[in-house]
Amino acid sequence: MSAKTRISIAPMVDITDRHFRYFCRLITSKAVLYTEMINSKTIIYGDKKRHLDFDPFEKPVVLQIAGCNKREVAEAVKIAEEWDYDEINLNVGCPSDRVSGNQMGAALMAYPELVAEMVEAMKKESKKPITIKHRIGIDGTNVLSSTLQQVVFNEYEDMERFVKIVSQAGVKHFIVHARIAILEGLSPKENREIPPLRYHEVYRLKEKLPQLIVEINGGVKSIDAINEHLRHVDGVMLGRIAYEDPFMLREIDGLYKESSPLKRSRREIIEALINYVQKIETDLGTSTNLLRNVLGLFANQRGSRKWRQLITPPWPKGYGGAQLLEEALKVLPSDILDDR
Ligand SMILES: Cc1cc2nc3c(=O)[nH]c(=O)nc-3n(C[C@H](O)[C@H](O)[C@H](O)COP(=O)(O)O)c2cc1C
């Protein structure tokens, strides 16, 4: 594995909140974790502590910002400086209408010069690395036609041009979701499933621009698949598998030669979660939302249903998260709880 190699867990709205990141960090000490995508306006005008606070235990953590106005993204980066995120990532991959309708997210792929200007403005406000998460292309003929004649941006050469222009503004690290985004007619979920994966185009990008850090994303579900991608690119970003089967994340540390894997058992993870939940219950008065993204801890194992039933709200009267987790340790099969 090269010095630059990294494995990360993708930014995912409603999933990668601070509690989920804490949970992931109990399983892997090495994977780079991302926030959910946060709109630059939300950072500027919203409840900053609510959106930006995190526990230092989660580090390294990357803040992902969405925006399309260079003054706003720069202002958001300036505000976030106080929180000491390890890197700032700009979202150029989200196909959602809420985002692309505003010419943010994936739609920005049609405007590489604008993205370069945004990056330059962000770099004036922070010394942290600025990275870009994008798609291999977009198809947005109608959505963007008021401003552009033709925005089918679907050829490898289009992506390479985008990356070259943006890298000239000082971005060295590109995370590429190996599908195009179809900006109309498909929901965000369909946009993660229907456009075919074109990994070879991401490999080609690394081949053509070897000085850049190229990280691949999309459909990676196993350690074998990670190892295969690492023969071609510098890093791999895992999305859905991280909440569908989070226990697989324990294998990640073993991919870094210098690390000694945590290899916590599910029992140890739950015990650590109990302490965390108690702390959060004291601080926030509730832990209901905290367990919503740990449902996959027993994926494909005996006890999976029981676990999901136990921690899915509504919880029995008088029960908090810590009591439910204690209960889980009593009723779930001990061989699965102690498996490493
Ligand atoms: C529930 C959900 C929310 C997502 N939210 C974001 C987001 O906030 N920012 C982003 O760049 N991508 C987001 N994505 C896309 C993922 O980061 C990732 O690119 C995509 O799921 C493909 O990777 P996978 O096949 O490993 O899941 C989201 C995906 C899911 C499933």
Domains of the chain (ranges; CATH) run 6-255 (3.20.20.70), 266-338 (1.20.120)
Stretch 289-312: mean pLDDT, rounded?
95
Residue 311 has pLDDT above 60, yes or no: yes
Ligand 1 touching residue 7 (CB < 6 A): no
Ligand 1 contacts CB of residue 192 (under 6 A): yes
Q: Is 16 in the pocket of ligand 1 (CB under 6 A)?
A: no
What is the rounded distance in angstroms from the CA atom of residue 91 to the CA atom of residue 64? 7
Length of the chain measured in residues: 340
Kindly state the percentage of the chain with pLDDT values over 90.
Answer: 76
Q: List, in order, residues 6 or more apart from 127 with CB less than 8 Å away.
A: none
The residue nearest atom 29 of ligand 1, judged by CA position, is 12
CA distance 340 to 333: 14
* Amino acid, res. 321: G
Q: Residue 284 — pLDDT band, cuts 50, 70, 90? A: confident
Q: What is the mean pLDDT of the chain?
A: 92
Task: Name every residue whose Cβ is closer than 8 Å to that of residue 121 and which is 6 or more positions away in sequence.
Answer: 70, 71, 73, 74
Question: Among 7, 9, 12, which residue has the most ligand 1 atoms within 8 Å of its CB, making it the best to mutate?
Answer: 12
pLDDT above 70 (res 142): no
Residue 101 has pLDDT above 70, yes or no: no
Closest ligand 1 atom, CA of 219? 25
Write the residue with the smallest CA distance to atom 30 of ligand 1. 12
d(CA 210, CA 296): 37
> For 179-202, how does the pLDDT look when each residue is reduced to its tens digit (9 = 90+)?
998 887 788 899 899 999 999 999
- Flag whether pLDDT at 308 surpasses 70: yes
- The reply to whether ligand 1 has any atom less than 6 angstroms from the CB of 240 is yes
| Any ligand 1 atom below 6 A from CB of 176 | no
Interacting residues of 315 by C-beta distance below 8 A, sequence separation 6+: 288, 321, 324
| Both tokens assigned to 239 | 């999305």
β 235-238/213-217 pair status: parallel
Phi/psi of residue 91, nearest 5 degrees: -80, 115
Please tell me if the CB atom of residue 225 comes closer than 6 angstroms to any atom of ligand 1.
Answer: no
User: Does residue 64 have its Cβ closer than 6 Å to ligand 1?
Assistant: yes
- How many angstroms separate the alpha carbon of residue 238 from the centre of ligand 1? 9
Q: Quick check: 283 pLDDT over 90?
A: no
Q: How far is the CA of 329 from the centre of ligand 1 (A)?
A: 31
283-298 as b/e, with b when 16 or more CB fall inside 10 Å?
eeeebeebbbbbbbbb
Confidence class of residue 145 from pLDDT cuts 50, 70 and 90? Answer: very low
Q: Point out the residues that are catalytic.
A: 94
Taking the C-alpha atoms of residue 61 and residue 314, their distance in angstroms, rounded to an integer, is: 31
Best probe residue, ligand 1, of 7, 13, 134, 193 (max atoms within 8 Å of C-beta): 13
Q: Is the CB of residue 302 less than 8 Å from the CB of residue 290?
A: no
Residue with tokens 């910002």: 65
Mean pLDDT, rounded, for 111-126: 96
Does residue 94 have its Cβ closer than 6 Å to ligand 1?
A: yes
Q: Does the beta carbon of 245 sit less than 6 angstroms from any atom of ligand 1?
A: no
Amino acid at 173: H
The predicted model gives 309-336 an average pLDDT of: 94
Q: Express each pLDDT in 64-73 by its tens digit.
A: 999 989 999 9
Reply yes or no on whether the pLDDT at 147 is more than 80. no
CA of 332 to the centre of ligand 1 (A): 31
Listed residue (15, 12, 64) closest to 38, CA to CA:
64
How much is the pLDDT for 141? 59
pLDDT at 154: 84
> Rounded to whole angstroms, what are the CA distances from 172 to 75, 162, 292?
22, 13, 35
pLDDT band for position 149 (cuts 50, 70, 90): very low
Query: What are the tens digits of pLDDT across the range 47-94?
Result: 999 999 999 999 999 999 999 899 999 999 999 999 999 999 999 988
CA 258 to chain centre: 24
* Ligand 1 centroid – CA 50 distance (Å): 21
Spatial contact of 21 and 54, defined as CB atoms under 8 Å apart: yes
**Residue written as tokens 């219950």?**
281
> Is there a contact between 312 and 287 (Cβ–Cβ < 8 Å)?
no
- Phi and psi at 110, nearest 5°, equal -80, -5
- Where are the alpha helices (H) located in the chain, listed in sequence order? 18-27, 40-45, 48-52, 70-80, 97-100, 112-125, 156-167, 199-208, 223-230, 241-244, 266-284, 304-311, 321-331, 334-338
pLDDT at residue number 134: 96
Which pLDDT tens digit goes with each residue over 239-268?
999 999 999 999 999 999 777 788 899 999
pLDDT at 160: 97
pLDDT tens across 202-225, in order? 999 999 999 999 999 999 999 999
Which atom from ligand 1 is nearest to the alpha carbon of 105?
11
Cβ contact 54:61 at 8 Å: yes
**pLDDT above 80 (res 169):** yes
Other C-beta atoms lying within 10 Å of the C-beta of residue 211: 7
Q: Which atom of ligand 1 is nearest to the CA of 89?
A: 11
